[in-house]
Amino acid sequence: MFSYRHAFHAGNHADVLKHTVLIATLQYLTQKDAALTVLDTHAGAGLYRLDGDYASKSGEASEGVLKLAQAPVAELAPILQDYLAMVRSFNQGSGIRNYPGSPFISQALLRSHDKLKLFELHPTDMRSLAGNVAQLEAGRQLAVLHEDGFEGVKKFLPPVSRRALLLCDPSYELKTDYGRVLDMVADSLKRFPTGCYAVWYPIIPRPEAHDLPRRLKTMAVKAGKSWLHATLTVKSNKTSERGGLPASGMFLVSPPFQLKEQLKPAMPQLVKLLGQDGNATFTLESGG
C-alpha cells in the first residue's frame, strides 16, 4: 500500500497553486444555474489540521498558505484573496489551524443541485475522508467512493448534468501514475469532450514528469480544445537539502476563459511571497 499521506503536505506551495486554480474554476463554472458534476479522482482526507502531528513535522504549510496569509491581503491579486478567504472560512479568529482539501473546497462552492464524487483508495485517508464529510450532511449530492479514481470516473462520464469539472491530483508515488493520468484524460475527452479537466503534477527531475504537460498539450490541441498551463517553482531542485517539492504545475483542458487573466497578477506574487531561493519563478501559457 502507498505511504503518501497528504496530511504532511497540506497547505504547501503546491496546494496553494492547485487550490487557487480550483476555486477560480469552480467560481466560474457555478455562475451558470445548470447543474455541475465535480469528479475528484484523488480526494485525500478532505480536511487537515495544520497544528497536528503530520503537518507540524513537515512544516510545509508554513512555507505555503501560512506565509501567504502574512501578506497584506488588500495587496494580493483577487484570485489569491479568494483562496485565503476560502481557507479562513474553515477557521475562527486570525489563526489558520484547519486546511480544506479539494473535497471541502468543492463542497463549499457547489450548489444543492450539483454533484460531487470523491474517490480515495487508501484505507486510512478513506476513513478520514468519510468521517470528515459526514459532518457536512450533504446527503445524496455527495458520494465518497473507496475506488481507484482513474477507473472510477468512467462510470460518471458523460455526467447526467452534461457539465463537469474533473480534478486529477494523484500523489505520483507510482511511476505508472503519469501514464494513467494521460490515459484517463484521453479516455475522458472521448466520453465527454466538453468537460473541463484539471491535472496537478509535480515538477521533479523525472522524464515522465517533464513529458506529462507536453503530452497533455498535444492531446488538447488534437482534440481542438483550449488549454492552460501554470507552473510555480519555489526553489532549485538541486539545493533542496531539506527535501520537499521544488515546483509543481496545473494543466487544464477547456479552462475558464478568464483564468489566465486572473492568474497573471497572482503568479509573480506567489513567486515573491513563497519563493525560497533565487530560482523561484513561474510560467503561464495557454492556447486554443
Q: What is the DSSP string of 113-141?
A: T-EEEEE---HHHHHHHHHHHHTT--GGG
Cβ at position 136, least distance to ligand SAM in Å: 15
Closest CA to 281 of 250, 248, 253: 248
Q: Cell for 236?
A: 532549485
Q: What values do phi and psi take at 33, rounded to 5?
A: -65, -30
Closest CB to ligand SAM among 43 and 110? 43
Is-catalytic flag, 169?
yes
Closer CB to ligand SAM, 250 or 274, in the complex: 250
Q: Which is nearest to 15 in space by CA: 83, 69, 114?
A: 83
Contacts of ligand SAM in 6-45 (CB under 6 A): 6, 18, 42-44
* Binding region for ligand SAM (CB under 6 A) out of 53-61, 142-150, 237-245, 277-285: 142-150
Quickly count: other Cβ atoms within 10 Å of residue 175's Cβ: 11
Q: Which of residues 177-236 bind ligand SAM (CB under 6 A)?
A: none
Going by C-beta distance under 8 Å and a sequence separation of 6 or more, which residues neighbour residue 182? 212, 215, 216, 219
Nearest to ligand SAM of 102, 188 (CB atom): 102
Beta strands at 47-49 and 247-253: parallel, antiparallel or unpaired? unpaired
Report the residue number, 14 or 263, with the smaller CB distance to ligand SAM.
Answer: 14
Choosing from 15, 40, 169, 177, the catalytic residue is: 169
Closest listed residue to residue 169, CA positions, set 17, 24, 12, 44: 44
Q: In the bound complex, which residue of the shown chain has the CB atom lying closest to ligand SAM?
A: 101
CA distance linking residue 23 with residue 139, whole number of Å: 22
Instruction: Please give the annotated binding residues for S-adenosyl-L-methionine, written as ranges.
Output: 19, 42, 102, 120, 148-149, 169
Q: Taking the complex as a whole, how short is the minimal distance between the CB of residue 68 and ligand SAM, in angstroms?
A: 16
Query: Which part of the chain contacts ligand SAM (CB under 6 A), choosing from 1-9, 205-213, 227-235, 274-282?
Result: 1-9
Span 111-130, contacts to ligand SAM by CB under 6 A: 119-122, 125
Q: Hey, what's the cell of 252? A: 487544464
Residue 22: CB minimum distance to ligand SAM, A? 7
- For residue 247, count other CB atoms closer than 10 A to its CB: 24
Least distance from C-beta 18 to ligand SAM, angstroms?
6
Nearer to ligand SAM, 43 or 259 (CB): 43
Interacting residues of 125 by C-beta distance below 8 A, sequence separation 6+: 5, 6, 43, 44, 45
- Note whether 171 binds ligand SAM by CB under 6 A: yes
- Determine the 3-state secondary structure of 105 from DSSP: helix
Rounded-to-integer distance, Cα 176 and Cα 20, Å: 27
**Quick one: 54 or 288, whose CB is closer to ligand SAM?**
54
Residues binding ligand SAM (CB under 6 A): 2, 4, 6, 18, 42-44, 101-102, 119-122, 125, 148-150, 169-171
Catalytic residue IDs: 169
